[in-house]
Structure 1
Amino acid sequence: MIFLLVTCLAALLSPSVHGVDWCYHKPECNFTTWPTIATQFCNGSKQSPINIVTASVQGNANLTSFNFTGFDDNSTFLNIVNSDGSVVANLNSSKVAVQGGDLPGLYNPTQVSIHWGNSSSSNGSEHTVDGKQYSMELQILSVHSKYNGNVSAALAANDSTGLAVFSFFIEGTQQNQTNIWVNLTSILQFISRPGAQIPILIPVTLNSLFEGVDRTKYYRYRGSLTTPTCNEVVIWTVFKQPINVNQNLINRFSTDLFLNADKTVQMTNNFRGVQPLNGRVVTSQVVNSTAPSSVATSTLSIITALLLSSLF
């Protein structure tokens, strides 16, 4: 069962999907051409990623906290793969689940993928916030539990709630790093060629990838997969607080991974450009505007003290 799941996911992420040859690095097949070479969905009106304009984000009181199950289980990661366009870690979806946060049911994470730019010279997150592009973006693809971990079944059903993606921005820093990102990036040299994969034997959990990140604050919108065939079946959750990763570790993605077997074409800029919002609404948690500000509270305290002192 696990082998079949991994095979299915690898096929989903391959740059040849359902007979569509696509890429990130060639003019004839990069993301600007996807609407014409993968016309069924890539030219749709609910495409991802998007630029999130914070001034236009609407409050939604239903966007509560999530319940993450199995995110501390270090046996969930199966292997890590050079998928010809990204680096993908496949998960045992039967061991992990997410619900809450106004999701229409329970979702099982099946894989982790990452998008980046070109080392420190250019950023490469897929989503942007007020035009800001982060160094990288980590995405957790999850499938509604009614599909029993079968991503292809969710796509075949054309179910607008079939998939959920939980997205984390990654910010490059100069801070020293001793967490799991050091160990994970050291593996990249062993999957440098397209199609290469190795089992993940180091103890790693989903929580360790974004340790310390506030997962109660996020943006929500409806969109699509960000690679062909760009099916519009995704509920997107984009967390506001980024993961901080040392820039030298981020650089390894561009220098250690390649798009061809003879290792002459580095894997860089593997992100899709932002797509039109087309009237869609991005929502987030409701900000409590009724609470008095600290300045107002201090002023009220001073006035109260002065009034009381005048009485004595």
Structure 2
Amino acid sequence: MDFDYGDCNGPHTWALRFPAAAGKRQSPINLNTKSMVFDRTLKPLIVNFDAVVKETAEVKAHNFHVKVEGKGVLRGGPLETDYHLAQFHFHWGSGNTWGSEHHVNGVSSPSELHMVFANSKYGPNDVLTERPDGLSVLGIFLQLGNQTNPALEHLCNTLVGLKKGDQKVLEPRLSLHDLVPKDTSKYYTYSGSLTTPPCSECVTWIVLDEPIIITQNQLDTFRGLHSNCQLCSSTDNFRPICPLGDRKVRTTVCT
């Protein structure tokens, strides 16, 4: 798709070519803890990657994603059915104080991981982006620290030297559980959209309160993909905050 994050085809122009981007259920949003609804009926999250069989990293125009084969399962929380992991990717910024797509009380993180899960109740002929519950995205903030996350380290080692369009199977596979915080009991959830074109409003968002740690070297590896691909001078690949409108954000976090 013809879009980017710069002046010519950046987020302020997306709605001209992708009408959904002007919708009322767009993402990302600022997660304002003072205006959320604490919901005791929200269930615990269950995340299981034991049945994942293959992971393939591919460098895209503005970031990279890892396609997942097998059944990585997300259930519980606000979800009524099981969702299966299709791919995951990251967003980041050129500085250490911005880069995440969601904010919490106006504060951003250096990076944000999106694990994209497909609703298992739909078949292969269903277009999930046309279903309001077609996808669920698990959003995980990354904070800078000195502790080396082994999954991120393995991923960064795989990415070194790759250019736009390159693909590489991760061998051995990542331990995907290392990309998920130990505490998944605290989260925010709302109805939203894909944060990249076509910006379809088909996503049940679940954003975890607890972050994982990324080192400076790992974050710099992400940023280095842009210079490898000679894409643009900026490494900012996040969409600005969208209006919440009349939507409600529910949470398991006591505020």
TM-score between both structures, scaled by the size of structure 1: 0.76
CA distance in 2, matches of 1:178, 1:63: 29
Higher relative contact order (CA 8 A, sep 6+): 2
- C-alpha spacing 1:29/1:76, structure 2 compared with 1 (3 Å): same
1:165 aligns with 2:140: no
Structure 1 unpaired stretches of 5+ = 1-15, 290-312
Paired letter, 1:103: L
Tell me the equivalent position of 2:195: 226
- 1:38-82 Cα offsets, whole Å, 9 max, x none, are 12x11001100000111001111121212223x245x53421011
1:88 and 2:55 matched: no
Instruction: Find the partner of 2:220 among 251, 271, 279.
Output: 251
Equivalent residue, structure 1, for 2:27 = 48
Q: Does 1:183 align with 2:163?
A: no
Aligned partners of 2:63 and 2:225 also within 8 Å = no
C-alpha change, 1:224 and 1:151, in structure 2 (3 Å) is farther
Residues 1-312 of structure 1 correspond to what in structure 2 (within 5 A)? 16=1, 21-25=2-6, 27-39=7-19, 41-69=20-48, 71-73=49-51, 75-92=52-69, 94-120=70-96, 122-148=97-123, 150=124, 153-155=127-129, 158-173=130-145, 175-177=146-148, 179-191=150-162, 193-210=163-180, 212-258=181-227, 260=229, 263=230, 265=232, 268-285=235-252, 287=254
Amino acid of the structure 1 residue aligned with 2:246: G
- Name the structure where strand makes up a greater proportion of residues: 2
Q: Kindly state the Cα deviation for residue 204 of structure 1 after the two structures are TM-superposed.
A: 1.2
- Percent identical among aligned pairs is 29
Structure 2 residue matching 1:42: 3-state secondary structure:
helix
Deviations 1:255-279 (A, max 9, x none): 234484xx36356111100100011
3-state SS of paired residue (1:35)? helix
Cα RMSD (Å) of the superposition? Answer: 2.1
Over residues 88-136 of structure 1, what are the superposed CA-to-partner deviations in whole Å (9 max), with x where a residue is unaligned?
Answer: 00001x422111112021111100010000153x520000001101010
Secondary structure (helix, strand or coil) at the match of 1:29 reads coil
Q: What is the identity, as a one-letter code, of the residue corresponding to 1:129?
A: V
User: What's the counterpart of residue 293 of structure 1?
Assistant: none
The one-letter code matched in structure 2 to 1:96 is G
List, as ranges, runs of 4+ consecutive aligned residues in structure 1 with deviation greater than 4 Å. none
Aligned CA distance change for structure 1 residues 222 and 264 (closer, same or farther; 3 Å): closer
Compared with structure 1, are the counterparts of its residues 151 and 259 closer, same or farther at alpha carbon in structure 2 (3 Å cutoff)?
farther
Distance 2:225 2:61 in 1: 13
Q: What is the number of residues matched between the two proteins?
A: 255
* 8 A contact 2:186–2:253 mirrored in 1: no
SS in 1 for 2:214: strand
Contact 1:63 1:102 in 2 (8 A): yes
Would the alpha carbon gap of residues 264 and 224 (structure 1) be closer, same or farther in structure 2, given more than 3 Å must change?
closer
Q: Using the alignment, how far apart are the partners of 1:152 and 1:250 within structure 2?
A: 36
Q: 1 or 2, which has the higher helix percentage? A: 1
Q: Structure 2 length as normaliser, TM-score?
A: 0.92
Q: Provide the C-alpha distance between the structure 1 equivalents of 2:73 and 2:168, rounded to a whole number of angstroms.
A: 24
